[in-house]
């Protein structure tokens, strides 16, 4: 929460003090009073949980906000009821402030709760964390621990995002797709056989997929572009012809074949890296950013891709 409060302090400079106090106070309220929480005195709760934190984070200019945040915290608490939850108050506050702070966005702080970094980007470009997905989303029919976000909690713009959450008692599943040139076809064959055996798409299983070189290309196709494993397997031979071309046409006699490895290190590898670079750029559309709206649905799998040259 500390880093999030620091960022929102910097990005909200210049806005009205009352609006800033409301933004922070309603976030604290949602954090302190989840559903069925005992109604402890808001003055005591604020002093115990948030006052010292704010004093340690904010400089002298913002320390004057603490009294205002505390006052708004108590004010919002008075409106809590069995019907009006802290999340509902937070949503009302966010929408009211959005009409004045329309340009406030962040990819490092979830502006819905101000407590955690965001994990998912909504079509309106507001980012949201996993916890807020559960709070403001609804269970999906796609399966257990699937949540649908039909509306952005900040601007109320329509969204059709479905998020697959990691169950609290389940360790994450990690899929590693190695490089290795044309041998990338072997791992695609293994994935295809595994998919056929278990009867469900491979893309629905991992919580994290890491791909290297041609493994990165497979990860992009399967998890970002929603290609099936069979489609990737069938397309691989044509891709391999474009990627794995010799980086040098200088002939090397058979009698000194052992020298080839050392020679290729000085010429940045056995194959031309430009081919792989072009294919990777074509697979990831130019408009895609590192933190962007997911095309795969439901989201839930994080993806990391790695490709390097010997010169790196």
The CATH number of the domain holding residue 242 is: 3.40.1090.10
Q: Check residue 143 and give its pLDDT.
A: 80
Q: Check residue 257 and give its pLDDT.
A: 45
In a domain, 55, yes or no: yes
Average pLDDT over residues 161-179: 87
Please check whether residues 233 and 300 belong to one and the same domain.
yes
Residue 274: is its pLDDT beyond 80?
no
Q: Check residue 260 and give its pLDDT.
A: 43
Residue 291: is its pLDDT beyond 70?
no
Please check whether residues 84 and 124 belong to one and the same domain.
yes
* Phi-psi sector, 199: left (phi>0), alpha (psi -120 to 50), beta: left
pLDDT > 70 in the chain, percent: 78
Q: Per-residue confidence at 145, pLDDT binned at 50, 70, 90?
A: confident
* Structural domain count of the chain: 2
Please check whether residues 94 and 215 belong to one and the same domain.
no
Please check whether residues 126 and 221 belong to one and the same domain.
no
Please check whether residues 283 and 228 belong to one and the same domain.
yes
| Domain stop point among 164, 191, 213 | 164
Average pLDDT over residues 188-210: 88
Cβ of 21: how many Cβ atoms within 10 Å? 20
For strand 174-177 and strand 120-121, is the pairing parallel, antiparallel, or unpaired? unpaired
Q: Tell me, yes or no, if the pTM score tops 0.75.
A: no
Q: Per-residue confidence at 167, pLDDT binned at 50, 70, 90?
A: confident
Q: Across 43-57, 157-171, 235-249, 276-290, which has the greatest mean pLDDT?
A: 43-57
Domain carrying residue 130: 1-164
Please check whether residues 236 and 209 belong to one and the same domain.
yes
Mean pLDDT of the chain: 80
In a domain, 312, yes or no: no
pLDDT > 90 in the chain, percent: 23
Q: Per-residue confidence at 26, pLDDT binned at 50, 70, 90?
A: very high
Q: Per-residue confidence at 49, pLDDT binned at 50, 70, 90?
A: very high
H or E element that contains 117 = none
Pair 146, 139: CB distance under 8 Å: yes
For strand 127-128 and strand 120-121, is the pairing parallel, antiparallel, or unpaired? antiparallel
Please check whether residues 3 and 123 belong to one and the same domain.
yes
Closest CA relative to residue 167, chosen from 185, 181, 147: 147
Q: What angle do CA 38, 43, 45 make, to 5 degrees?
A: 50
pLDDT higher for 41 or 168?
A: 41
Residue 269: is its pLDDT beyond 80?
no
H or E element that contains 287 = none
Closest CA relative to residue 216, chosen from 244, 180, 254: 180
| Domain stop point among 141, 164, 187 | 164
| Domain stop point among 164, 195, 225 | 164
Give first-to-last CA distance, the chain, whole Å.
Answer: 37
Please check whether residues 183 and 294 belong to one and the same domain.
yes
Task: Give me the long-range contacts of 38-47 (CB less than 8 A, separation at least 24).
Answer: 39/77, 39/80, 42/73, 42/74, 42/77, 43/70, 43/74, 46/70, 46/73, 46/74
């Amino acid at each position: 929460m500390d880093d999030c409060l620091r960022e929102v302090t910097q990005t909200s400079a210049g806005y009205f003090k009352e609006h800033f106090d409301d933004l922070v106070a309603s976030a604290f309220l949602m954090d302190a009073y989840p559903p069925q929480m005992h109604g402890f005195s808001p003055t005591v709760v604020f002093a115990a949980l948030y006052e010292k934190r704010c004093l340690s984070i904010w400089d002298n200019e913002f320390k004057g906000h603490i009294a205002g945040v505390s006052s708004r915290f108590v004010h919002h608490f008075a409106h809590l009821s069995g019907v009006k939850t802290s999340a509902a108050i937070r949503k009302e506050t966010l929408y009211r402030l959005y009409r004045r702070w329309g340009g406030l966005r962040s990819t490092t702080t979830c502006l819905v709760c101000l407590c955690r970094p965001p994990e998912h980007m909504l079509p309106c470009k507001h980012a949201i964390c996993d916890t807020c997905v559960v709070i403001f989303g609804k269970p999906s029919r796609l399966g257990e621990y699937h949540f649908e976000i039909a509306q952005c909690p900040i601007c109320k713009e329509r969204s059709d995002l479905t998020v697959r959450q990691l169950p609290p008692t389940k360790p994450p599943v990690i899929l590693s797709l190695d490089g290795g040139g044309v041998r990338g076809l072997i791992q695609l064959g293994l994935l295809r056989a595994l998919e056929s055996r278990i009867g469900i798409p491979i893309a629905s299983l991992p919580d994290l997929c890491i791909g290297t070189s041609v493994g990165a290309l497979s990860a992009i196709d399967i998890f970002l572009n929603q290609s099936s494993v069979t489609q990737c397997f069938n397309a691989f031979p044509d891709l391999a012809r474009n990627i794995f071309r010799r980086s040098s046409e200088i002939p090397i006699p058979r009698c000194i074949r052992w020298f080839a490895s050392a020679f290729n290190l000085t010429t940045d590898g056995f194959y031309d890296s430009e081919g792989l670079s072009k294919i990777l750029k074509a697979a990831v559309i130019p408009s895609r950013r590192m933190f962007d709206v997911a095309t795969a649905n439901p989201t839930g799998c994080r993806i990391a891709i790695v490709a390097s040259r010997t010169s790196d």
